[in-house]
Amino acid sequence: MKIRVGYGYDVHRLAENRDLWLGGIRIDHSKGLLGHSDADVLLHAICDALLGAANLRDIGFHFPDTASEYKDVDSKLLLKRTLEVISAKGYRVGNIDATVCAERPKINPHIPAMQKVIADILEIDIDDISIKATTSEKMGFVGREEGFAAYAVALIEKE
């Protein structure tokens, strides 16, 4: 068996009049993340980690923000298509370890729902999806509540 590891990172700015989508679920908050798609920073980081592990470039290469078909797209669809791309190369997902960095709202109460959504899309056990939440202690753009950041590591396997 061949195993590979990939790393993903994404950031999105917070904006008024946007829904907050994170880990494939809508979270009630006064602002949402701004982007060409629904700006789900966590799913984007996971996509990049999976694509990187399979040596398939990055999310912007596969789903460019210049393509109208991805305008306001649900990032769950991007994650599903990412799975299809790595599967076509013979890989399956082993596990995901991710961290969301945000000052508000509290992310921890939403983690079980995010794990379920992601596990279902990636066709793996919920126990293979680790999501952690942290703040940046009021430092930087996250600390000033200007945006969110997410980091992800993915392990993929090929028989």
Query: Which CATH number is 95's domain given?
Result: 3.30.1330.50
- Kindly tell me the burial class for residue 10, based on how many C-beta atoms sit within 10 Å of its own C-beta (0-12, 13-18, 19 or more): buried
Establish whether 36 is an annotated binding residue: yes
Residue 138 lies in a domain: yes
Domain that holds residue 66: 6-158
Residue 104 lies in a domain: yes
Establish whether 66 is an annotated binding residue: no
The pLDDT tens digits for 146-155 are 999 999 999 9
The pLDDT tens digits for 104-148 are 999 999 999 999 999 999 999 999 999 999 999 999 999 999 999
Residue 33 lies in a domain: yes
Establish whether 37 is an annotated binding residue: yes
Taking all residues of the chain, what is their mean pLDDT, rounded to a whole number? 97
Coil, helix or strand at residue 74: coil
Q: How many domains does the chain contain in total?
A: 1
Establish whether 29 is an annotated binding residue: no
Residue 1 lies in a domain: no
Establish whether 60 is an annotated binding residue: yes
Establish whether 136 is an annotated binding residue: yes
Residue 28 lies in a domain: yes
Q: How confident is the model at residue 33 (pLDDT cuts 50, 70, 90)?
A: very high
Establish whether 62 is an annotated binding residue: no
Residue 154 lies in a domain: yes
